[in-house]
């Protein structure tokens, strides 16, 4: 971390007030931690006995914990990305590259947020603690040399998107669930995160419009091209839906009703990626996209209902109509 930090610190000795330190914690990105909630819903849907009188405070404490850990990761990201952010038309105005914060103070902020966030996780359950600790460690792997996975093509997307299943695991264990989350659900959640992250990479690369300048901003862009990124988007999207299908066929067939809405959200997101100044470059502002938000709300409502309401007719429709491999071995 020293080589990156020394490059930055020489340019941030004029650090200003507290506003810059609040900004690099990216509180406006905390909404991403709603991805914890599907883990809670899945745990309750598969084991309703977990719903107890302490569910509200446990969920509140869990969200505070994971938000602080996320902010810790954002802070170190801002610090170590500053030299390259100067090559980005918008990110060059961020607090660190523009000299609004002092790097030593920012590093102290990173450590404090991480310590408190992971510490709060210990108060909930061992599983939740492990999830938030892993989330913080992934921040190191993603940002800090010599690994710095964000500089490696494809690995950058995969290592960033793993935060999705980690959030789901946190939600699963916030209620002291003792079972292990279904692998098919975790893989689907991971791949859908990869889909959205690869789309963000595509929009960034397309917006910069110059391969040399793009590579100066992000190392992985020296390998990527628009075609390679779109091919990866296709892979991640297909894998996400295949694993989701495996999960619902095994655990909750009623969720198949949500398939068209999930596909619609993915299609709308793809459409946004092709726009000039694409909003997918700043996911925290996607709430301003009314069509996408309407589809998302509808999908969440349908999933919420179908997770808890049985639809016997679906089981009749999707029951096997031909001999299965199990039948042949009997």
pLDDT at 175: 83
**Structure tokens given for 63:** 């969200």
Low-confidence ranges of the chain (pLDDT < 50): 1-15
Q: What was the pLDDT predicted at 184? A: 96
pLDDT of residue 89: 65
pLDDT of residue 3: 45
Return the pLDDT at 287: 85
DSSP 5-63: HHHHHTT-TT---HHHHHHHTTGGGGGGGGGGHHHHHHHHHH-GGG--TTHHHHHHHHH
Cα separation values, 323 from 95, 245, 246, 253, 329, Å: 63, 20, 19, 20, 10
Spatial separation of the C-alpha atoms in residues 303 and 290, rounded to whole Å: 20
Q: How far apart are CA 283 and CA 242, in angstroms?
A: 25
State the CATH architecture for 1-9+16-181. Orthogonal Bundle (1.10)
Of 276, 209, 214, 222, the C-alpha closest to 88 is 214
pLDDT tens digits for range 241-272: 999 999 999 999 999 999 999 999 999 999 99
Write down the domain spans for the chain. 1-9+16-181, 182-312
């Amino acid at each position: 971390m020293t080589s990156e930090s020394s490059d930055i610190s020489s340019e941030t000795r004029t650090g200003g007030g507290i506003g810059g330190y609040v900004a690099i914690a990216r509180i406006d990105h905390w909404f991403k931690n709603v991805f914890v909630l599907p883990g809670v819903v899945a745990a309750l849907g598969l084991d309703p006995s977990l719903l107890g009188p302490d569910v509200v405070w446990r969920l509140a404490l869990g969200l505070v914990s994971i938000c602080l850990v996320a902010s810790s990761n954002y802070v170190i990201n801002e610090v170590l990305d500053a030299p390259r952010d100067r090559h980005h038309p918008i990110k060059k105005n961020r607090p660190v590259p523009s000299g609004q914060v002092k790097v030593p103070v920012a590093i102290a902020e990173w450590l404090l947020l991480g310590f408190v966030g992971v510490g709060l996780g210990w108060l909930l359950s061992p599983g939740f603690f492990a999830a938030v600790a892993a989330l913080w460690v992934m921040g190191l792997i993603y940002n800090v040399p010599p690994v710095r996975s964000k500089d490696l093509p494809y690995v950058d997307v995969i290592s960033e998107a793993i935060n999705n299943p980690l959030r789901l695991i946190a939600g699963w264990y916030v209620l002291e669930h003792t079972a292990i989350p279904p692998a098919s659900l975790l893989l689907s959640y991971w791949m859908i995160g990869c889909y959205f992250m690869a789309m963000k990479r595509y929009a960034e690369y397309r917006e910069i419009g110059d391969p040399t300048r793009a590579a100066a901003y992000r190392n992985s862009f020296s390998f990527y091209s628009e075609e390679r990124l779109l091919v990866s988007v296709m892979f991640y999207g297909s894998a996400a839906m295949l694993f989701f299908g495996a999960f619902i066929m095994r655990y909750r067939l009623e969720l198949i009703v949500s398939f068209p809405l999930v596909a619609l959200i993915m299609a709308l997101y793809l459409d946004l990626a092709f726009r000039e100044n694409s909003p997918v470059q700043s996911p925290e502002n996607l709430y301003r996209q009314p069509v996408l938000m309407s589809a998302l709300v509808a999908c969440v409502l349908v999933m919420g209902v179908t997770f808890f309401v049985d639809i016997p007719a679906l089981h009749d429709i999707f029951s096997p109509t031909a001999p299965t491999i199990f039948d042949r071995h009997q």
